[in-house]
Structure 1
Amino acid sequence: MSESPNIALARRLYDSNADPAVTEQIMAPDIVWDITPGFPFGGVYHGYDSMMNDFFGSLLPHFESFGAQAEEYYATDDEHVFVSGHYHGVTKAGETADARFIHLWTIRDGKLAQLRQAADSHVLQQALNG
C-alpha cells in the first residue's frame, strides 16, 4: 500500500530536519503555528515569518541542538495528518531533554497550513531552567 500524499508531505518536513529551504516550499505563507501553553515560547503564531522569527528565533538560541524526530504518521482524512514522536534537545548549559509530542497538521492546497502541537512541556522547561 502506498503512502498518502499528506503523509509524504509531513514526512518530508521531518526527514529534512526542518531545513528552511524545504519548509518554505511545503508550508503555506499564512501557516498557523499553535504551540501548547507551557511549552517554551508557547502560543499561536500567524504566518511563516512569525513562526520562523518569533517562535524559532526565540526558542533555538537556548539550545546547542534541537530537533523533532517523527516516529509514527496517521492520515485521518483528506486534510489532516497526526505525527507522534519526540523532541531531542541539548541546552546551551548542557542539559539534555527528550520530550514526547503529537502534531496535528492541517493540509490545504498541498501545503502544511496549520500545526496544533501537544508536548511534554515540563521536560523542556526543566532542561532550560536547570
Structure 2
Amino acid sequence: MSPDLIWVESAGFPAPGVSHNKAEIKANLFDVLERDWAVFRYTLDVLIDGGEFVVGFGTYRGTHRVTQKNFEARAAHVWHVRDNLIDSFEQFADTEVIQRAAAEDPDKATVSS
C-alpha cells in the first residue's frame, strides 16, 4: 500500500469513514466488524483490471452478534494503483440491508447516504 493511502468505507456501512494506513484500516474497519459481527465476509465475484483502476464486484454476507440477523448485500470495490501500490480504495455497498441486520427494530435502522 502507498504511504499516501486513502481508504474509504461507505457512509452507512458498519465502520464508515476514511483510513490512511494499515493500522487505521485495522482499527477503524476490521476491529469494529470483529467486535459487532459474528460473521462478516466479502465474496468477490468479478475482478476487472482497468489498468490504474481495478474494480471488484461481490457480495457481503454476515450475522450480527446482538440481533443474530443475517444479511446479504451486493457491493463494488474500486482500487487505484500507482507505481504498483494501492493508493486508494473506495467501497460502494447496499448499506441499508446491512444496517437492518444490525437494528433490533428494522423500522428504526439508521440509513445514511
The TM-score with structure 1 as length reference comes to: 0.72
CA distance in 2, matches of 1:118, 1:104: 8
Offset from partner CA, 1:20-60 (integer Å, 9 cap, x none) = xxxxxxx3454321011111221111111101112221222
Q: Which amino acid aligns with 2:22?
A: Y
Identity of aligned residues (%): 29
Matching residue of 2:11: 37
In the alignment, which residue of structure 2 is the partner of 1:106? Answer: 80
Structure 1 residue aligned with 2:61, among 84, 88, 94?
88
Q: How many Å separate the matches in 2 of 1:59 and 1:52?
A: 10
| Corresponding letter in the other structure for 1:55 | L
Paired with 1:91 and 1:104, the residues of 2 have a C-alpha distance of 26
What is the alpha-carbon distance in structure 2 between the residues aligned to residue 111 and residue 122 of structure 1? 32
Provide the C-alpha distance between the structure 2 equivalents of 1:82 and 1:38, rounded to a whole number of angstroms.
21
Q: After the TM superposition, which residues 60-79 of structure 1 pair with which residues of structure 2 at under 5 Å, given as runs?
A: 60-76=34-50, 78-79=51-52
Unaligned stretches of 5+ residues in structure 2? 105-113
Cα contact 2:33–2:40 (8 A) shared by 1: no
Q: RMSD over aligned Cα, in angstroms?
A: 1.5
**Residues in 1 aligned to 2:19 and 2:36: alpha-carbon distance in whole angstroms:** 19
Q: Which runs of 4+ in 1 moved over 4 A?
A: none
Alignment TM-score, normalising by the size of structure 2: 0.82
Contact 2:6 2:88 in 1 (8 A): yes
The Cα shift of 1:95 comes to 0.9
Total equivalences in the alignment: 103
Relative to its length, the structure with more helix (as a share) is 1
> Which 5+ residue runs of structure 1 have no aligned equivalent?
1-26
